[in-house]
Amino acid sequence: MKAKNHMGAGIAIGTGVGAAIGVAMGNLAIGIAIGIALGIAIGSSKKKNTPEEK
C-alpha cells in the first residue's frame, strides 16, 4: 500500500532520524528540529516524483 500523504510520512521518518541524531549529539531538541526540516525535505521530494492522481 502506498502512502498518499508523503509530507506526513516524510516528517515522521525525519523526526525519528532527527531524534536519534539529537541523542547522539546530546541535545534532543536540536535533533528533532533537524529531523522536522529533513522530513519536510523528504516529503516534498517524494511528492514531486509521483504522478498526480486524476
pTM to 2 decimal places: 0.60
**Amino acid identity at 35:** G
Cβ-based neighbour number of residue 32 at 10 Å = 17
In a domain, 39, yes or no: yes
In a domain, 52, yes or no: no
In a domain, 51, yes or no: no
Q: Where residue 28 falls among pLDDT bands split at 50, 70, 90?
A: confident
**Structural domain that includes position 26:** 6-46
Q: How far apart are CA 15 and CA 13, in angstroms?
A: 6
In a domain, 13, yes or no: yes
In a domain, 53, yes or no: no
Q: What backbone torsions phi and psi does residue 26 show, to the nearest 5 degrees?
A: 90, 10
Render pLDDT for 3-23 as a digit per residue (tens, 0 to 9).
Answer: 567 777 777 888 888 888 888
Count of structural domains within the chain: 1
In a domain, 28, yes or no: yes
